[in-house]
A = this chain, B = another copy of it.
């Protein structure tokens, strides 16, 4: 079994209005040194397979088809073997 950890980020060429909105809130709190906030996703799950190649293929398909929007986002993941 593996634990998968996935990071999903918007491409740099794609605006991030949610990040901009949160950053405006920071200025109201007096946090004036925060710039270029970009909000992505962090996803964890278990993969009940023992073969790392098969696990990696399944995780990649999960990312590509469900977790990320491949038009505007990039993803990366790594697997940790667990007992």
Contact = CB atoms under 8 A, between A and B. Distances in A.
A61 B22 contact: no
Chain A interface size, under 10 / 10 to 19 / 20 to 34 / 35 or more: 35 or more
A42 B42 contact: yes
Interface of A: 7-9, 19, 22-23, 25-26, 29, 31, 33-49, 55, 58-59, 61-62, 65-67
Contacts of A37: 43-45
Contacts of A38: 43-45
8 contacts: A9-B42, A25-B66, A31-B58, A31-B62, A33-B47, A33-B58, A34-B45, A39-B41
A62 B1 CA distance: 36
